[in-house]
């Protein structure tokens, strides 16, 4: 009987995790470039407790006992979001597969789906949070115009230039398993053993997407689907609560048998 309480408690804990994940998705429905998270559950280890017809019965079906439910994976879903036109020259979205590589404060690399770029105090293209793109592209702090072409070519016209010149080329990277990427927050990701190392290439080649200047990628959260999933998780949580209540009542009945 005590095991029924534990099994129901694991169900409540997992469904609470699911509710928290969905709530975070809903909170970021309007966050540009946000990728929703998805929780996958698994049964805990099962063990054989007896055989129908006796333990010595040959070929008799077995009775198995489960240990509840646990989290199999908590991963990001990297389906593309809608592209929204902003006409801002430093807004760059990726149409298709791919990530921008950026340099972190500690010198390590992280990967972003693009969005609102900026020019840092040294004149390099960076994310809105100040993480410089890799490879570094120097556009200067006095650029009159910045053009990012679909293939990643960056053309810059300085204050004293009559014609734009090429400042560099934005490269994209992709991974063998994007669900294995580790989220760092602020729409930044780092690879793991599951995702594999980054594979670099030119935008528009080898299955990589192209760049769209003047656009940002919207969140891929579907409000209706998330609300339905939220209600399902809440109902599952309530079911586990009822199992605990039923187990408690049965324990109370057992305690009263000797009175």
pLDDT (0 to 100) of residue 52: 47
Q: What is the dihedral of CA 199, 203, 204, 207, to 10 degrees?
A: 20
Element counts in the chain: helices (H) and strands (E) = 2, 20
pTM here? 0.77
Cα separation, 147 vs 157, in Å, equals 9
pLDDT of 55 reads: 47
Sign of torsion over alpha carbons 150, 202, 195, 189: negative
Model pLDDT, residue 84 = 93
Q: What is the pLDDT of residue 50?
A: 47
User: What's the pLDDT score for residue 73?
Assistant: 73
What are the distances in angstroms from CA 131 to CA 40, 55, 124, 209?
A: 32, 65, 10, 22
Contacts of 56 (CB under 8 A, 6+ apart): none
| 39's tokens | 């929780």
> Residue 233 to residues 18, 66, 182, 189: CA-CA distances in angstroms?
7, 21, 24, 27
Whether 5 contacts 244, CB under 8 Å: yes
- Per-residue confidence in pLDDT tens, the chain, 259 aa: 567 787 888 888 888 899 999 999 999 999 888 999 988 877 665 555 444 444 444 555 665 555 677 777 778 899 989 999 999 999 999 999 999 999 998 989 999 987 789 999 999 999 988 999 999 999 988 888 999 999 999 999 987 888 899 999 999 999 999 988 998 988 899 999 989 999 999 999 988 999 999 999 999 999 999 999 999 999 989 988 998 888 888 888 877 776 5
Which structure tokens are listed for 61? 């079906």
């Amino acid at each position: 009987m005590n095991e029924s309480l534990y099994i129901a408690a694991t169900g409540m804990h997992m469904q609470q995790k699911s509710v928290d994940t969905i709530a975070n998705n809903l909170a970021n429905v309007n966050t540009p470039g946000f990728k929703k998270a998805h929780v996958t559950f698994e049964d805990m280890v099962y063990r054989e407790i007896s055989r129908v017809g006796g333990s010595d019965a040959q070929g008799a079906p077995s009775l198995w006992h489960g240990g509840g439910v646990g989290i199999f994976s908590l991963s990001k879903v990297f389906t593309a979001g809608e592209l929204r036109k902003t006409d801002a020259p430093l807004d760059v979205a990726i149409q298709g597969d791919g990530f921008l590589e950026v340099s972190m404060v500690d010198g390590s690399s992280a990967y972003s789906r693009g969005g609102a770029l900026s020019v840092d105090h040294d004149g390099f293209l960076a994310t809105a949070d100040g993480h410089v793109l890799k490879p570094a592209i120097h556009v200067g702090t006095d650029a009159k115009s910045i053009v990012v072409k679909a293939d990643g070519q960056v053309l810059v016209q300085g204050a004293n230039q009559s014609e734009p010149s090429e400042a560099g080329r934005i490269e994209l990277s992709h991974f063998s398993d994007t669900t294995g990427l580790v989220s760092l927050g602020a729409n930044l990701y780092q690879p793991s053993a599951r995702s594999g190392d980054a594979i670099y290439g030119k935008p528009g080649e080898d299955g990589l997407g192209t760049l769209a200047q003047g656009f940002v990628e919207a969140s891929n959260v579907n409000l209706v689907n998330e609300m339905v999933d939220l209600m399902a998780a809440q109902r599952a949580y309530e079911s586990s609560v009822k199992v605990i209540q039923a187990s408690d009542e049965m324990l109370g009945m057992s305690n009263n048998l000797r009175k």
